Amino acid sequence: MKQTAALLYPRSTAARQAVSLDGMWKFRLDPQGSGVAEGWKDGIGAKDTLPVPASFQDFFTDKASREYTGDFWYETEFFVPPEWKGKAVYIRFGSVTHRGTVFVNGAEITRHEGGFLPFAADITEAAHYGGANRLVVLVNNELSETTQPVGRTETKPDGTKIARPYFDFFNYSGIQRPVRLLALPKTTITDISLIPRITGDKAELEYAVETVVGTTVETAVGTVAETEADARLTVLDEEGRVVAEGQGAKGVLSIPNPRLWNVRDAYLYRVWVRLYRDGELLDEWYEDTGLRTVEIRGTEILLNGKSVYLKGFGKHEDADVIGRGYSPAHIKRDFELMKWTGANSFRTSHYPYAEEVYQMADREGFLVIDEAPAVGLFDSTSNFLAANRGQKKVPFFDKPGTAAELLENHLQAVRDMIRRDKNHPSVIAWSLFNEPEDTSDAAVPYFKAVFDAALNCDPQKRPRTFATVLFNRPDTSKGCRFSDFICLNRYYGWYVLGGYDMDIAEQALRNEIEGLKAQNLGKPFVFTEYGADTDGGLHKLPSVQWTQEYQTEVLEMNHRVFDRYDFIRGEQVWAFADFQTGEGIYRLDGNKKGIFTRQRQPKAAAFYLKQRWENLPENYKTPVQV
């Protein structure tokens, strides 16, 4: 049975059971890497416990634990009901960062590479039914130039490993998203793809259902092969009324008088998929989705055929104590704050977020640029500075023995991200890299492979893009030719010409955009990062860098420039909230570019953005129809 059966979002239905395994798990660091040889798969021998889901680092008060790099182990016990015998039983992990090996009752079940997407362990044969089971997970958080995200791992003179990220956020790790025990039927739904189409006042929802048929079934006359199951679909509106029905693995559902999903005006339909054989229900699952279309036409981003201007943020999954751990409380608070500012969008910088974030975006009508964990493809442990200053321009994709393995991991991450998120109406584009070094010819086949994979994987054929840094201008970048729209990360007024040189920074930004205008690329541009670090309690008149006044002035300067050009179709400030980074003299206990503090309280700039965004219409810069 394919693992994909367990990768659908876990729901309990008449045919499925999903049980949370979240809670306090035993935990143990393994700095010598001896756990495998010493048989920790049979029990890690630890008394210390940690909550799952959460990052492990910020629970500790000693620096060696917080900065720990290497192997570490989790353990918990779970019960499998006896009536689950005969079903397919899985343990589904929302994510394990950055790689994990799963053991159940001492047997290795599966391994997974990649820390921001779900995977499942099939424990059907290993489980003890009607009794206790031991789950042990070996996790490793080391970085390399072939992992996603990218970095390297060094060893200090005393033998201690240390992570050297090529990215500007803390290397939080562990079992950071929910873990669930699943019981699924042997003949089951493994996937569904939905493609909405809108013509005038009519809507159609094309669908394709994938299933796996169990190999055999016991009957009164012996064991026989199972036959194909019959797929039936039912679409309900938000009031629970049936608005469409269909039958078969593929088809088109016509929805009369459709209510469209719109920016900040969401409407969701529930699509039930059920499998039957001879009138018996075998499996059922549902997907909440919206009816909307997304396309790029000239320099416009169109939602349902109407121009939309992106207003919002780059974000991180990051909070006090839990690090990058799943937190429904923070998800709720973040969306309320974004609504308060008048935002309508965000980018999942720099990795796919927890599934529940997209579900909230679907319900709230936010537009999401969904980003793969391809960050740090630039040879520098401080690449966020080097990139913006045009330093250390190492041809990253020219490295022998690196690019091929990196590409394999990159493609798998893109495929997994799109498979997971493809039906979310909130997801309007895929961002396939963040700030890569793509000025060498070797980047061309690499980018083509990634962009082609995204196109081929996505049934809805959403726009594809990536975020560029200062020296990666469209005239020097080898990757921009593949983008359906151009994303710019620019820090004029901060890393470039800051302080009293802000007037020069403004002119430099205008000069760059005039150069882009002269190229007449005929594509929309979105500023996906701009801003300035700011201490949440620092004020000064006249302003100086790091004050709240200066942060607002940097934003005002950028907006003056953005407003002059019709082909700039969005502004996503960096960042929504302050977040943790590694140590360094360029960081004051983390990145402080947040419009909100890490505790989700507003800085002065939040009130400025609220005033601006509430007064910018969703169709800002739409050409006047004559």
Which residues are identified as catalytic?
435, 529
Say how many C-beta atoms besides its own lie within 10 A of residue 425's C-beta.
Answer: 29
Residue 186 CA to chain centroid, in angstroms?
A: 30
Supply the DSSP symbol for 481. Answer: G
How many CA atoms does the CB half-sphere of 434 hold within 13 Å?
29
Decide: 194 and 207 in contact? Cβ < 8 Å: yes
Decide: 313 and 575 in contact? Cβ < 8 Å: yes
- In the sheet with 269-277, reading across from the earlier edge strand, the strands are 242-247, 230-236, 269-277, 280-289
Q: Which residues pair with 78 in a beta bridge?
A: 133
Across 421-561, where does the E strand assignment appear? 427-434, 464-468, 486-489, 525-529
179: its two tokens: 């873990």
> Distance (Å, rounded) from C-alpha 30 to C-alpha 69?
9
Closest to 41 measured CA to CA, from 105, 88, 91, 97:
105
> Distance (Å, rounded) from C-alpha 301 to C-alpha 303?
7
Rg from Cα positions in the chain: 25
Decide: 25 and 96 in contact? Cβ < 8 Å: no
Closest to 296 measured CA to CA, from 305, 288, 287:
305
> Distance (Å, rounded) from C-alpha 392 to C-alpha 480?
20
> Distance (Å, rounded) from C-alpha 534 to C-alpha 401?
41
Closest to 2 measured CA to CA, from 97, 104, 110, 103:
110
Backbone angles phi, psi at 457, to 5 degrees: -80, -25
Residue 583 sits at the vertex; the CA angle it makes with 579 and 586, to the nearest 5 degrees, is 80
Decide: 475 and 514 in contact? Cβ < 8 Å: no
Decide: 321 and 59 in contact? Cβ < 8 Å: yes
